[in-house]
Chains A and B, each alone.
Chain A
Amino acid sequence: MSISQAVEAAGDGSGSEFRRGVASCAPVLFGTIPYALVLGAQATQVGMSTVELSMMTGLNFAGGSEFAAIQLWTSPPNIVLIVAITFLVNSRHLLMGAALAPFLRDLPRRKVFPALFFMCDESWALGLADAKQRAAAGITLAFSPRYYMGAALAMYLTWVAFTTLGALLGPMLGHVETYGFDMAFPAVFLVLMRGMWTSMAAARPWLVSLVVAAMVYLFVPGAWYVAAGAVSGLVAAWLMAGHA
């Protein structure tokens, strides 16, 4: 390959990085669509208009907090309660952003701040797993912004479009759980975790998170289980690192 061909290949690489991101997100979208439809349908049942629902999913773009908000929705809404619950459900983003930060060091802030608006569980997990794999393969700029944005924008557009469609279709939709689509989320997350697996010892904090999150989910009302499980796992990792 000549130098010009190599440069051309690298140029094509940026577009293909975006497509690679979209493609890797495709299985996740499969599981997202039924949830988006249900959220939209539920929103109309508690008195939100389609415009309001689209605005919420487009500006907030964090499904867990939106489900919680819809469940707590009254007319007029209890603003303090809903905003506080939104923060709690989304507090995991703080950990996620911190985990991603080392890979974002070489990027300018004007690119990072818009990109972080699109950071959801799925785009973050895909972007981080990809960066770790590329780093392990010896690639210096391990984080691929175009790959991340491909996954993130596919997720964003799907979420906003299908929540809106759910609001328009309203109560015609039944329960998606009967069809098994909800198992797509555990499936995706478990595959991502296998990609992060290094050793049994390194995975022990995950077990702590699982047990604590499950117990809190069973015995504490609300969406506390995500924060409780995540923080417990981190405390366990902190303690175990001290013993090593």
Chain B
Amino acid sequence: MIDAATLLTILLMAGVTYLTRIGGYVVLRNRTLSARATAVMEAAPGCVLISVIAPAFVSRNPADLLALAITLVAATRLSMLPTVLIGVGAAGLLRHVIG
């Protein structure tokens, strides 16, 4: 049930993915960063997170945009679980009502 070309593809995928996981740590581990580099590193987590979810902000579905706005407001006030429940609930409901 395992094809040789498929196996090779999967192993190479796993290899490059692991290199990306250790790369940042290996290269930057023992460096003392400048103030400027520190500012970049502090901005980095938010930059990656917002980029991953950016497609949600330009959805063509008005129900999705409204649900995202509700989720955004919830995220500024509530903790993780209520925000997730409100977001999922709003998206499911609005897609049936509007979309």
Task: Report yes or no: A95 in contact with B48, Cβ–Cβ below 8 A.
Answer: yes
- Report chain A residues within 8 Å CB of B80: 24, 27, 188, 191
Task: Report yes or no: B9 in contact with A183, Cβ–Cβ below 8 A.
Answer: no
Q: How many chain A residues touch B (Cβ–Cβ < 8 Å)?
A: 100
Give bound CA distance, A117 to B21, whole Å. 7
Task: Report yes or no: A237 in contact with B11, Cβ–Cβ below 8 A.
Answer: no
Task: Report yes or no: A230 in contact with B48, Cβ–Cβ below 8 A.
Answer: yes
Task: Report yes or no: B5 in contact with A192, Cβ–Cβ below 8 A.
Answer: no
- Indicate the member of B27, B54, B75 with the most A CB atoms within 10 Å: B54
Task: Report yes or no: B10 in contact with A56, Cβ–Cβ below 8 A.
Answer: yes
- Minimum CB–CB distance from A12 to chain B (whole Å) comes to 24
Given A101-B24, A181-B88, A210-B51, does the pair A48, B71 have CB atoms closer than 8 Å?
A: no
Query: Which B47-83 residues sit within 8 Å CB-CB of chain A?
Result: 47-58, 64, 67-68, 71-72, 74-76, 78-81, 83
* Interface: A161 (CB within 8 A): no
* Interface: A135 (CB within 8 A): no
* Interface: A241 (CB within 8 A): yes
| Residue from B2, B23, B35 in contact with A97 in the complex, judged by beta carbons closer than 8 Å | B23
* Interface: A214 (CB within 8 A): yes
Q: How does the 8 Å CB contact mask read for A184-200 relative to B, with 1 for contact and 0 for none? A: 11111111111010100
- Report chain B residues within 8 Å CB of A24: 80
Task: Report yes or no: B53 in contact with A186, Cβ–Cβ below 8 A.
Answer: yes
Task: Report yes or no: A187 in contact with B47, Cβ–Cβ below 8 A.
Answer: no
Task: Report yes or no: A226 in contact with B47, Cβ–Cβ below 8 A.
Answer: no
Query: Which A114-172 residues sit within 8 Å CB-CB of chain B?
Result: 116-117, 119, 121, 124-125, 128-129
Query: Which B4-20 residues sit within 8 Å CB-CB of chain A?
Result: 5-14, 16-18, 20
- Report chain A residues within 8 Å CB of B49: 121, 125, 189, 192-193
| Residue from B27, B42, B57 in contact with A210 in the complex, judged by beta carbons closer than 8 Å | B57
Give bound CA distance, A50 to B1, whole Å. 8
Majority SS at the chain B contact face: helix
- Report chain A residues within 8 Å CB of B90: 180, 183
Give bound CA distance, A100 to B95, whole Å. 38
A residues with a Cβ closer than 8 A to B are 24, 26-27, 30-31, 48-52, 55-56, 59-62, 64-65, 69, 75-77, 79, 82-83, 86-87, 90-102, 104-105, 112-113, 116-117, 119, 121, 124-125, 128-129, 177-194, 196, 198, 202-203, 205-206, 208-210, 212-214, 217-218, 225-230, 232-234, 236-238, 240-242, 244
Closest 6 CB pairs of A and B: A97-B24, A180-B92, A229-B51, A233-B47, A180-B91, A98-B24
> 14 A-B contacts, Cβ less than 8 Å apart?
A30-B88, A59-B10, A77-B6, A87-B16, A93-B17, A97-B23, A98-B24, A101-B25, A128-B45, A183-B68, A185-B56, A213-B55, A225-B54, A241-B39
Extra contacts, 6 of them, besides A91-B20, A121-B52 (Cβ < 8 A), are A77-B5, A87-B17, A179-B88, A213-B50, A217-B54, A241-B36
